[in-house]
Structure 1
Amino acid sequence: MATHGREKMRTTPLSRAASLLIALITALGLAGSPTAASTDKRTDSAMDVVAAMQPGWNLGNTLDAFPDETSWGNPLTTKPLFEAIRAQGFRSVRIPITWTDHQSATAPYTIDAKWMNRVKEVVDLALASDLYVLINVHHDSWQWISKMPTNRDEVVARFNASWTQIAGAFRDAPSKVLFESVNEPQFDNATDEEKMRLLAELNRSFHAIVRGSGGGNADRILVLPTVHTSADQKYLDGLSNEITALNDKNLAATVHFYGYWPFSVNIAGVTTLNEETQQDLIGYFDRSAKTFVDRGIPVIVGEYGLLSFDVDWNAVQQGEKLKFFELLGYQARIKKLTTMWWDNGQHFNRQTLQEWKDPGLFAQIKSSFTTRSGTTSSDSIFLPKSGAIEARTLTLNLNGTSFRGLWHGSARLYPGRDYTVSGDKLTLTAAALSRLAGDRSHGVNATIQARFSSGIPWNIYVISYDTPVLSNTTGTTESLTIPTQFNGDRLATMEAKYADGTNAAPHDWTSYKEYGRSYSPAYADNSIRLLKELVSQMRENTPLTLTFHFWSGAKVTYQVTRSGDTVTGTAS
């Protein structure tokens, strides 16, 4: 437990400056409702309200984009978007808002009225679509709040001014609108104890300003983050002490979760949902629940996903990806955590308002809100293109379900003839695989569906392959494109080591490089690209051996050498 957490904290009164700002906002007429005054009086507990918000979705890269709402590639937010999100089963929306570019950079830090009105308009669109709404101070966290260790007075003044204006503008908003003090709080060049102390100061100020503004804000649910929105126990304890000191039953805690980092970005050889990755997820949610939920304090996982979604969609293999989200949904449900999926436009199509980029992923996530799904140890069975086909065994992960059988399209496969089950071992016979492989052309020959007593059916792909073949090439320190015949196989990961046994940069603590940052396969173009982050840091005139690991189990070595700005690739 942090040192400051052992000290008794109490709610501090509003500063004179904050009080004057509230008076100013009220006098200017900005302290009214977003568009219509709310007369609702919430009777549900904070735990009940946050539970009713499950599941949630983030309107990412929109009001948090800068300088304007559409600057990061998303269209203007409309009511049909929120109606579509509600129709998909979501009950709440987190609206990240960055105020920096819409606010004077000096006192009195006035927020542009046009921007405030647009924020209120978007909030009202969400409310009209029967969604709970969570608004916050978003990228401001690293744009200026992070400077608090060396610029405390100015940061505190701007933070207080921001929340005084926001609280005034939403004073009479319905109770379905929640406030989050700051997104992913961080503080430059500060120790952990200093970070927790600084965040505590901001959270107390936020609490005092909102509560002091009256109206619906008197008992509105306020959401307080940990440092970095991390579920490290020290940060959870720090926030727990603050919430205890505030003695307010209408508070919630928030953390974010993007998975065990090596798995989330595919680095260090972590390509599967292994035991370490699973325990990282389980422990993260368990600590959050024990610290808060077990004491009657709700927890919102304000963002969750995989970090690789912003880099390379295929960095995490599809089956492992589905298993990750299946486990995440289950853990959130049994630990009574409300989750809000981070979507900055890469998941739901905001142009058509109809489809998801990956319907299978969405189906798995949606299902996990209410039930478990069975899976198997792999979603792929790789068969060599030539030679005898042998029986293959997969491990069933029942996850509390029961196995119902295998289907190929509408045709049910026969137990005994096509497959056998012994304990948790599912074995497909050589005869069945031979029939499913057909002419054994490279790639997916057949898709089998494993069905269970509940949840989403699990696809198993029967794939024929030959060992991939890489060819010689020349490139530059900007990138090197290696002609590649994948022959039906898929790339899992890549190692990069020099002859003396040392690992190549970046991340030279591991020989396995990051997918999408150091290398990336392009199946449609029959190539593997070595990216600038890797080739620009190669040693001069020192051969670097790459080992490409494929999902079939095949390994292919390849040598690259840098001379000045030229990089040469040679097949082994």
Structure 2
Amino acid sequence: MTGRRGVALLAAFVSVTATVGLAVVAPAAAAPGCKVDYAVPSQWQGGFTANVAVTNVGDRVDGWRLTWTWPSGQKVTQAWNATVTSSGAEATAVNVGYNAVIEPNAKVSFGINGSWSGANTAPTSFALNGVTCTGGGTDPTTTTTTTTTTTTTSNNPVPGDAMAQVAAMQPGWNLGNSLDATGADETSWGNPRITEALLDNVKAQGFKSIRIPVTWGQHQGGAPGYQIEAAYLDRVKEVVGWALADGFQVMINIHHDSWQWISAMPSDRTGVLARYNAIWTQLATAFRDSPAKLVFESVNEPQFTGSSGDAQNAQLLHELNASFRTIVRNSGGNNASRLLVLPTLHTSSEQARLDELAASISGFGDRNLAATVHYYGYWPFSVNVAGGFRFDATAQKDLTDSFDRVFSTFVSRGIPVILGEYGLLGFDRHTGTIEQGEKLKFFELFGYYARTKKITTMLWDNGQHLGRTSFQWSDPELIAQIKSSWTTRSGTASGDQVFSARSSAVTAKTITLHPNGTTFTALRQGSTDLVRGTDYTVSGDQLTLTAAAMTRLSGSRNYGTNAVLTAHFSAGVPWRINLITHDTPVLSAATGTTSAFSIPTNFRGDVLATMEARYADGSNAGPHNWTSFKEFDRTFAPNYTTGATTLTPEFFAEVNDNARVTLTFHYWSGATATYHVTKSGSTVTGSL
């Protein structure tokens, strides 16, 4: 970005709300009848994000083209949920396949990132398919278009207004597994060196804040000075500088040191505290004159080994947080009023942990403090173990209860909360550990509920989501759901797979819709609408595909996905539905070793959900022997390309020698298959 370091950072956080009314005369021809709401939820020096919502108040629109003129010469740099092009000051947004149709009284939304210089005045008029949007449907000749723009003109915090600053940090992103890596340098965990281009692309995705985890221990000298390597500190300062120049709110911390050496505080309180204080003394000095958009987090996921229990844990964490706050506040410069972020023990949202931190914050009497917790979901669902392969009522309640506690303990009392990391723990291996539809339902509810509780969220990304050099999302469907949840809700359903057995006659199939406050509007295959009443029916929340439609869409009924449909709602992203032809999978006998054993599997179109393991007496076999359901991908994994189901060395490590284990594989169609394995030393025999 040219001249980025020469741009002066504004000193205050300014909110401007402008309402612009324009009376227009529409053409005499019949108008679609539309209303456009244009909002700018965030703006920074030279850039902005805008959300555009088009409501159809006339007849059905099949294929839309929205045009407008930029009053101040703005430029579109990126768009989602529409294809947006510009020619001079003229801008055009065209539907993408899944949102081409706008039913009467329905709405479509899209978003843009743009650039500006001098001013960022809102457009005063929009036209849908060539006809000016006036907000009316029957007589468009004298009605008024109202465009409301909420613009944050600087995104800079006002010292002392912690709630406003944390709100301005939403949404956030983590630069994980780079500067926090515990090896020799930032590439030691497999990610490339951080570049300005990476941060530019993260900014272009709509993120407002970036958390830069940093592990210091391997770059720190010994007692008594505990000096940080100058080259490493300079590198951290360089990356922080890039992020600040991009307009981010930036949060840095002490990261994996928490378990590497800070955890020894119960047995070495003096030594740990001296080393910890030395880091923050050096960081406070190094960043003393940085703008208020730089935020300090005392320590990541604090934990203590060998403590006497909760009371000592709470006291030790309080000492760290108190020492951190004192060092920073007494270091001068902008640190006197800088936003400081304090974690709960383990960054847990359990009530006892929240109460401990609330007591510390209350005692500090410092209005520039925020609390932080992390959330990776209900553990059985988050890693797919113990039968937790669905985002069911238990998993949903875990989420809502957690956010309710955080809100009641902190936010409702004027203490802002940053959810410093979120995701699913299964993502540590790959994002396929959790079935796609169940995963999307988790993130849809997560984003919505965090927003209603005024909690700022920061996506944990260690390279598994946004490519560090390709700048492409590994799961576009996932990031679309996450982005949508920042501003609205999306409709979902009981599942994203509809199975039809090839060995049986084709029948009608029903799934349950979860509108989540939206309204179902259409069912499509690509850009083609299916016919309501002929291809499908909707009764309450029950969507039924007719036998005739299932027959047509299934074609020759090859195993696997034969058709992909999308259910569309009045807001949010569409819900994908795969029509799958299957039969019960067929497994075959095999021999192998504990380090390499696979069951030949003809999946016949089906998809593996989970696996149970039991001994002959009915007791549970394998790891996590408190449950018969084993952990997906950790102990077993399907390979649909090679036609095999692998059992891992980790599974066999906790299986009794010469004991026959009965495996029950559960598939998403509802089918099950039984298999037997016996381990004898390092040899494994598998049979039906």
The one of 272, 282, 285 equivalent to 2:400 is 282
The equivalent of 1:262 in structure 2 is 380
Shift of 1:38: 7.8
Q: Quick one: higher RCO (CA 8 Å, sep 6+), 1 or 2?
A: 1
The 5 Å alignment of 1:403-552 reads 403-552=520-669
The one of 411, 416, 437 equivalent to 1:298 is 416
The one of 389, 392, 399 equivalent to 2:516 is 399
The 5 Å alignment of 1:8-407 reads 40=11, 42-43=157-158, 45-65=161-181, 66-190=183-307, 191-353=309-471, 355-407=472-524
- The residue type paired with residue 414 of structure 1 is V
Shift of 1:37: 10
In the alignment, the residues of structure 1 paired with residue 583 and residue 10 of structure 2 have an alpha-carbon distance, to the nearest angstrom, of: 68
Q: Provide Cα deviations, 1:198-238, integer angstroms capped at 9, x if missing partner.
A: 00000000000000001000000000000000000000000
- Report the secondary structure of 2:342's partner residue: strand
- The residue type paired with residue 318 of structure 1 is Q
Shift of 1:525: 1.4
In the alignment, the residues of structure 2 paired with residue 63 and residue 384 of structure 1 have an alpha-carbon distance, to the nearest angstrom, of: 50
Residues 59 and 95, structure 1, Cα contact 8 Å, conserved in 2? yes
In the alignment, the residues of structure 1 paired with residue 394 and residue 240 of structure 2 have an alpha-carbon distance, to the nearest angstrom, of: 40
- Report the secondary structure of 2:666's partner residue: strand
In the alignment, the residues of structure 2 paired with residue 230 and residue 444 of structure 1 have an alpha-carbon distance, to the nearest angstrom, of: 41
Q: Provide Cα deviations, 1:387-441, integer angstroms capped at 9, x if missing partner.
A: 2111111111010000002001111111111111111111111111111101000
- Report the secondary structure of 1:387's partner residue: coil
- Report the secondary structure of 1:97's partner residue: coil
In the alignment, the residues of structure 1 paired with residue 7 and residue 180 of structure 2 have an alpha-carbon distance, to the nearest angstrom, of: 25
Q: Provide Cα deviations, 1:438-457, integer angstroms capped at 9, x if missing partner.
A: 10001100001000000000
Residues 676 and 687, structure 2, Cα contact 8 Å, conserved in 1? yes
Q: Provide Cα deviations, 1:522-542, integer angstroms capped at 9, x if missing partner.
A: 111111100011112221211
- Report the secondary structure of 2:565's partner residue: strand
- The residue type paired with residue 43 of structure 1 is V
Residues 392 and 428, structure 1, Cα contact 8 Å, conserved in 2? yes
Q: Which moved more, 1:316-325 or 1:535-544?
A: 535-544
Q: Which runs of 5+ in 1 are unaligned?
A: 1-33
- Report the secondary structure of 1:68's partner residue: coil
1 or 2, which has the higher strand percentage? 2
- Report the secondary structure of 2:251's partner residue: strand
Residues 35 and 124, structure 1, Cα contact 8 Å, conserved in 2? no
In the alignment, the residues of structure 2 paired with residue 316 and residue 449 of structure 1 have an alpha-carbon distance, to the nearest angstrom, of: 21
- The residue type paired with residue 59 of structure 1 is L
Residues 37 and 173, structure 1, Cα contact 8 Å, conserved in 2? no
Residues 158 and 165, structure 2, Cα contact 8 Å, conserved in 1? no
Q: Which moved more, 1:360-369 or 1:518-527?
A: 518-527
- The residue type paired with residue 147 of structure 1 is A
Q: Provide Cα deviations, 1:482-535, integer angstroms capped at 9, x if missing partner.
A: 111111111000000001010012100000000011101111111110001111
Shift of 1:480: 1.1
Residues 265 and 307, structure 1, Cα contact 8 Å, conserved in 2? yes
Q: Provide Cα deviations, 1:233-263, integer angstroms capped at 9, x if missing partner.
A: 0000000000000001100000000000000
Q: Which runs of 5+ in 2 are unaligned?
A: 13-156
In the alignment, the residues of structure 2 paired with residue 213 and residue 169 of structure 1 have an alpha-carbon distance, to the nearest angstrom, of: 10
Residues 38 and 172, structure 1, Cα contact 8 Å, conserved in 2? no
- Report the secondary structure of 1:315's partner residue: coil
Q: Which moved more, 1:293-302 or 1:187-196?
A: 187-196
In the alignment, the residues of structure 1 paired with residue 7 and residue 546 of structure 2 have an alpha-carbon distance, to the nearest angstrom, of: 66
| Cα gap change, 1:502 to 1:566, in 2 (>3 Å) | same
The equivalent of 1:24 in structure 2 is none
- The residue type paired with residue 52 of structure 1 is A
Q: Which moved more, 1:450-459 or 1:126-135?
A: 126-135
- The residue type paired with residue 93 of structure 1 is I
Shift of 1:35: 11
In the alignment, the residues of structure 1 paired with residue 352 and residue 344 of structure 2 have an alpha-carbon distance, to the nearest angstrom, of: 9
In the alignment, the residues of structure 1 paired with residue 207 and residue 240 of structure 2 have an alpha-carbon distance, to the nearest angstrom, of: 16
Moved over 6 A (4+): 34-39
1:564 aligns with 2:685: no
Shift of 1:36: 11
Q: How many residues align?
A: 537
Q: Provide Cα deviations, 1:283-318, integer angstroms capped at 9, x if missing partner.
A: 111111111110111100000000001124321100
Identical aligned residues as a percent: 58
- The residue type paired with residue 110 of structure 1 is Q
Residues 35 and 120, structure 1, Cα contact 8 Å, conserved in 2? no
Residues 340 and 368, structure 2, Cα contact 8 Å, conserved in 1? yes
Q: Provide Cα deviations, 1:117-148, integer angstroms capped at 9, x if missing partner.
A: 10000000111111110000000000110000
Q: CA RMSD in A?
A: 1.4
Residues 267 and 306, structure 2, Cα contact 8 Å, conserved in 1? no
Q: Provide Cα deviations, 1:6-43, integer angstroms capped at 9, x if missing partner.
A: xxxxxxxxxxxxxxxxxxxxxxxxxxxx9999894652
- The residue type paired with residue 186 of structure 1 is Q
- The residue type paired with residue 63 of structure 1 is L
